[in-house]
Amino acid sequence: MTSTQDAAEPGVPARRRPATLAALTPKQRLVFVVATLAGGVSAWHALAPSWQVPVPTSANLGEERLQDFRDALYFPIREFFAGGNPYDPAAMFAHWPVRQDFNLYQPYHLLLHAPFALPGYRAGAVAFSVVSLLLLVALAAMAAHAVRRIAGVPFAVTTAVAAALLVTSQVGKAQLYVGQINPLVAVGAAGALLARRDRPGWAAAALALAWLKPQYGFPLAVLLFARGSRRVALTGTAIAAAASLPVVALLVVRSGGIGPFLDVVVANLTHARGTDYGAVDSPTAQRIDVAAVFFRVTGGVPAALEPVVLAGVLGASALLARRLTTPLADLLTCLAVVVCVVHQPGDVLIAVPSMAAVAALWWRHRAEPGLGAAGLAVLALAVPFAHLYTVDSAVVATLGSRVAVTVDGAAVVLAWALAVFAAVRLTRVRAA
């Protein structure tokens, strides 16, 4: 039997199956057709909010449909092209019908997503949602590619099944319902991990996309560097910085200098820390990072817990991931990214390809030491995806709203702990 490490290596040939639809077995064709139809129905329902949502006004600020598209994309870009500074919470609240401030996304976001903010609101919302759906399909294709490396399952069938599951899941539907940019960031992060050895140039470009949200880009770059992909980490970070530099320079000029611009940055961070969705000690926040979960479980948060968690999780994960081969190293990397610093349930999208690959690896080698814990990690990580509205309603009714907003984070933190345990076990077995 092929060893666990060998089966995980990207360059090791896996059992191949027919790639074309015509060459699929009848059972495989049936699975493909059913998954495509089911995924199409789910996709239609997931896209519906983009053309049903009312045009934002001060009277409907509580509207949740496309709220992130409204608050983090459409109106910040409008403010930027109108000559203002969208990072200034006071300016955004004064000029536009937004409910949330514009967080410190990479400044190149204001140019990259400009095509969705130039037309009317509804046209931009529909176009953005369709592109986000296509990115989810691309993420499913990455998962299929990762699985095919290990199990040789037909690419088309796996892509159809993964896409249908993804767009039907709570995490997938939420991206389109609230208009998040996570699908693009997830494709970037997953692409950087998948291509870091064979195509480092493409991996660096993908990492630059992951830097769109710094809470993704920074820990991912650190872990890639620690795992030996130094060129990818440094080049991807440099690309993101270079793309943002012209926007930053323009905003500095508009602000009247570096000092006033930094004052806006401080005001932005201060506002974010005081919101009910961003504060570490908020009982209603849906944060899934270790610090926030610790608060909601214990009711208290020690001073400086967040930087300690950041350093501890990154340090431990980097030490273990560099000793492993893919895909478990990739899963551990993705889990470390989302538990070390501020993240929410939808951010686990970055782990979809590595989840699928580890599941396939566990299925083929489930009797080997350490892979049982890896399989359990995948199962725990599936909790946010299965946290549908009906499930949430049942949890709230029986256990209360605080448990409902904690269960996803607790499951993700548990998944990271299980991945760490699996990594330690596999490392010891390999050393023996």
- Residue 285 to residue 179: CA distance in whole angstroms: 18
Report the alpha-carbon distance of residue 79 to residue 102 in Å, rounded: 11
Tell me the residue type at 144: A
Structure tokens at 258: 């570096």
Phi-psi group of 370: left, alpha or beta (phi > 0 → left; psi -120 to 50 → alpha; rest → beta): left
| pTM passes above 0.75 | yes
For 374, the token pair is 């890896």
Q: For 368-431, give the DSSP string.
A: STTHHHHHHHHHHHTHHHH--HHHHHHHHHHH-HHHHTTHHHHHHHHHHHHHHHHHHHHHHHHH
The pair of structure tokens assigned to 120 is 């009317």
Alpha carbon distance 66, 63 (integer Å): 8
Buried/exposed code over 362-395 (b: 16+ C-beta within 10 A; e: otherwise)? bebbeebebbbbbbbbbbbbbbbbebeeeebeeb
Asked if 72 and 175 count as a contact pair (C-beta separation under 8 A), the reply is: no
**Number of helices and strands in the chain (H, E):** 24, 0
Provide the 8-state DSSP code for 71: I
The CA–CA distances, whole Å, from 158 to 19, 33, 139, 166 equal 11, 12, 12, 12
Continuous H helices in 102-169: 109-112, 114-117, 121-151, 155-168
What is the spatial distance between Cα 198 and Cα 204, in angstroms, rounded to a whole number? Answer: 12
Q: What pLDDT tens digit does each residue of the chain (432 aa) get?
A: 333 333 333 333 444 444 556 677 888 889 889 999 999 999 999 999 999 999 999 888 888 999 999 999 999 999 999 999 999 999 999 999 999 888 889 999 999 999 999 989 999 999 999 999 999 999 999 999 999 888 778 889 999 999 999 999 999 999 999 999 999 999 999 999 999 988 999 999 999 999 999 999 999 999 999 999 999 999 999 999 999 999 999 999 998 899 999 999 998 888 877 777 777 888 877 889 999 999 988 888 888 899 999 999 999 999 999 888 778 999 999 999 999 998 999 999 999 999 999 999 888 877 777 788 889 999 999 999 998 888 888 888 888 888 888 999 999 999 999 999 999 888 777 666
